[in-house]
Amino acid sequence: MTGLLIRGAEIDGELLDVRIGRGRVLETGHALPRAGRAEHELQAHGGALLPGLTDHHLHLFATAADLASAACDPATVHDAQGLTRALHRAGPDRHGWVRGVRYHESVAGELDASRLDALRGDVPVRVQHRSGALWMLNSRAVAAVGLATADHAGVERDADGRPTGRLWRADAWLRDRLPPGAPPSLADLGRRLAGYGITTVTDATPGLDAATVAAVSEAMARAELPQRVHLLGAPLTGSPPGRSGPQAGPWKIVIADSALPGYDELAEAVEAAHRTGRPVAVHCVTREAILLLLAVLEEVGTLPGDRLEHASLTPCEVLPAIRRLGLRVVTQPGFLADRGDDYRRGTPADEHGDLYRCASLRAAGIPVGLSSDSPYGPIDPWAVMRAAVQRRTGSGTVLGPGERLTPAQALEGYLSTARRPGDSPQRIHPGTPADLVLLRAPMPQALLLLDAELVRLVLIGGRPVAGDDTGPAQDA
């Protein structure tokens, strides 16, 4: 069995050698002697050595499917002609379907079945809105899934009761009516995440079934997904596989921005999770959603680890209540760079500081973890960090300058553990798991750049999973 000795890495401002073996950091110090010929040496040349990054909120299989779908976002297609070309370039899957993703109305207006028929009507087509809340189907797809006789509340209908082809918050319903198929491979996604330095992920997909949990476990066992995984949607009854598989995180509850749940309904959902010992992770996009959740938690109480997901519009007057209730916030400032101009046009100017708050949350003593919400937001954690620092839209407008983080604070948003997002960053010392990221530059330069190109080597459990200086395989 071999080990790894990294020489001259910057850790907390000090140049140290780091010995790695048995999946852990064994020793740090100056001029450590080589343990033997089998121990591989790597010169860090003063590059910063960090704990592995954690993406605190993404969607694994949705992102994997996104990578294999037709991109319909405004950055890729600019008008109806471009959208038509994208849908025709996309090869149908083995069942004959075309899948588009990340659509926004700025490309070609609102899409329904007839509009999609004009863009591509020869095969069943389904296009997902970039919010993730809406699917748009052409007529062939409408017929294939039986939308005319569907009783799901999310089926949009015209004045005559006919389905328009627009389906709101009905992913599970739609999935059950699509041709059967295996979940998409997570191998490409696992490699991409590793290349960014991400060693742990929290999948935020709600209501996962046993088959999906098993698929994640199998991808981890085959090392297609090398990251450690926490699942917000892991079933409340039972638990994911053992230590080598995914772990259950807080229980995901969605407060839909299109239709708020009743007070009693939300209270029961929170209490049901708490009764099992699971904290809750509650999707809150609007002010109304946050206010409703806070009212419920004031009555039913909280558990350590309860958290707000997104907190997209957070009025400053609720910060004391969030702090008093001991809640964490997992947010996505990357949306400001990705679609901030849409927010700027759709939100009053005096509310721009309420968008994806960061600095004021930290100042109020509220733990803040950063994340991508991929595939709905940019997956690159370094791009999310830059967005948290700059808060600049595509047109160059700064939204809520008072909410900017320093580069060090932005990086810290990815350095806390999956179980305690927003806590103090993990530290590198003997005994800690060797989930590590070696950068090509020392920390001061890295904080100036905040760029994925800085990542030189990534280890998970002492094993190299990305980078160009991997050397021989390390022991787990």
Burial label for 262, CB within 10 Å (0-12, 13-18, 19+), is exposed
pLDDT of residue 259: 82
> Is the confidence at residue 130, as pLDDT, over 80?
yes
pTM: 0.88
- List, in order of start, the domains of the chain with CATH numbers: 4-51+429-467 (2.30.40.10), 55-60+184-412 (3.20.20.140), 69-177 (3.10.310.70)
Model confidence pLDDT, tens digit, residues 311-344: 999 999 999 999 999 999 999 999 999 999 989 9
Rounded to a whole number of angstroms, the CA Rg of the chain reads 23
Contact predicate 293/266, CB 8 Å: yes
Confidence of residue 242 (pLDDT cuts 50, 70, 90): low
pLDDT of residue 385: 98
DSSP 442: -
Model confidence pLDDT, tens digit, residues 73-95: 998 999 999 999 999 998 888 88
Half-sphere exposure of 311 (CA within 13 A, CB side): 30
pLDDT of residue 449: 97
pLDDT of residue 473: 39
Confidence of residue 239 (pLDDT cuts 50, 70, 90): low
pLDDT of residue 305: 97
Please identify which residue in the block is written with the tokens 């899934």: 145
Integer Cα distance of 266 and 472 in angstroms: 52
| Residue 284: CB atoms within 10 Å | 26
> Is the confidence at residue 476, as pLDDT, over 60?
no
> Is the confidence at residue 474, as pLDDT, over 50?
no
Model confidence pLDDT, tens digit, residues 377-413: 999 999 999 999 999 999 999 999 999 999 999 999 9
Query: Which tokens go with 470?
Result: 């991997």
> Is the confidence at residue 433, as pLDDT, over 60?
yes
Straight-line distance from the first to the last Cα atom of the chain, in angstroms, rounded to the nearest whole number: 9
Confidence of residue 68 (pLDDT cuts 50, 70, 90): confident
Residue 57's closest CA among 312, 260, 239? 312
Please identify which residue in the block is written with the tokens 């039913």: 300
Confidence of residue 244 (pLDDT cuts 50, 70, 90): confident
